[in-house]
């Protein structure tokens, strides 16, 4: 069983940051945010124990992964782009989550560069873990690969 420790560590770091921010504001931690973090951890653990066949079956933007073209340019294994690809192959992630999981200056720029190289990365809406924020949804990047 392979667990994505990088992703789980990022979730836990975000939870600690949210708790510290709530304590500074002398507020209680939002239960909805805790539920969201718990669901993310449960999903990561379930995916680590199960085969990724469901992700492979998910259709791409054109309706089928079979018609997606492979990227036009390879990515070196030691770059920020390769780290982002590794995370996106595991699960969708927002720019904020990518920047907390990985040593990135600007996750949006890395995603933009990957798109320019031919990787198909789209955005999917997700509930905002911070329910007290004005925006109730966030956008997560999802990698669509031809297999």
Q: Where are the domains of the chain?
A: 5-144
Residue 141's beta-bridge partner residues? 93, 123
- Given this model, what pLDDT does residue 92 score? 92
Is the CB of residue 110 less than 8 Å from the CB of residue 87? no
Q: What is the dihedral of CA 61, 136, 106, 47, to 10 degrees?
A: -60
- Given this model, what pLDDT does residue 56 score? 43
- Given this model, what pLDDT does residue 3 score? 55
pLDDT in tens, the chain (147 residues): 455 666 667 777 777 777 777 778 887 777 777 777 777 777 766 665 554 444 444 554 444 444 555 565 667 767 889 899 999 999 999 999 999 888 888 999 999 999 998 899 999 998 888 888 888 888 999 998 764
């Amino acid at each position: 069983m392979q667990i994505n420790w990088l992703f789980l560590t990022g979730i836990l770091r975000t939870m600690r940051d949210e708790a510290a921010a709530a304590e500074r504001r002398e507020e209680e931690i939002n239960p909805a945010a805790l539920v969201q973090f718990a669901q993310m951890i449960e999903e990561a653990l379930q995916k680590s124990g199960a085969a990724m066949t469901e992700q492979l079956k998910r259709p791409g933007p054109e309706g089928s992964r079979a018609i997606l073209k492979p990227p036009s340019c390879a990515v070196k294994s030691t770059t920020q782009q390769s780290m982002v690809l590794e995370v996106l192959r595991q699960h969708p992630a927002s720019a904020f989550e990518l920047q907390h999981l990985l040593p990135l200056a600007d996750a949006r720029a890395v995603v933009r560069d990957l798109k320019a190289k031919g990787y198909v990365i789209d955005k999917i809406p997700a509930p905002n873990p911070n329910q007290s924020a004005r925006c109730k949804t966030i956008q997560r990047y999802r990698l669509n690969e031809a297999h």
